[in-house]
Amino acid sequence: MDMAHSSPDRVPIDILLKLSVYDEDWYVNTPANSAIKAMASSLPAVLNIFYERLRSPIPEARSHAAVALKDVAEKEPFLLNGDILKFELKRLEKLGDDETADYVKHVLKKLEGITRRPSYQYGL
């Protein structure tokens, strides 16, 4: 967690992926998810972890990812990609996953009127 704040480029993401899953004990997945969210400011691509998990065949995994995205929306909504979330919401509604869809709707409401921060502020 300390490295996620001070040196996000040195965090072993492969380990975080294994620790941050929904079926890991809360005292393991909570700090791992917190580290991923903390890294999002400097490495926005880590949010793809949660976007991908919204596509899981396991409802609990989808819900777990949506809760993490909800937390990001509460603190740093400008990091989130509304286009991806809108697409995933449609898919979740088709699946009938109302619980996860409700979380994503909450996230999308938090994004209303927010300008997304570009991933690349310098360069081409």
Per the prediction, the chain carries an average pLDDT of: 90
Distance CA 37, CA 56 (A): 19
**Within a domain: 123:** no
- What secondary structure, in 3-state letters, does 57-118 show? CCHHHHHHHHHHHHHHHHHCHHHCCHHHHHHHHHHHHHHCCHHHHHHHHHHHHHHCCCCCCC
In a domain, 8, yes or no: yes
The domain tally of the chain equals: 1
What does the pLDDT look like over 79-89, one tens digit per residue?
999 999 999 99
**124 falls within a domain:** no
Whether 97 contacts 59, CB under 8 Å:
yes
Q: What is the mean pLDDT of residues 44-59?
A: 95
Phi and psi (nearest 5°) for 77?
Answer: -60, -25
82 domain residue, yes or no: yes
121 lies in some domain? no
Closest of 74, 69, 97 to residue 85, by C-alpha: 69
Say if 118 falls within a structural domain: no
State pTM to two decimals.
0.88
Residues 51-71, mean pLDDT to the nearest whole number: 97
pLDDT one-digit tens code per residue, 36-46: 999 898 888 89
Mean pLDDT on 67-89: 96
- Predicted pLDDT at 122: 62
Nearest by Cα to 78 from 102, 114, 52 = 114
Tokens found for residue 54: 């919204």
pLDDT mean over 7-24:
86
Q: Does residue 106 sit within a domain? A: yes
Q: Which domain holds residue 16?
A: 2-111
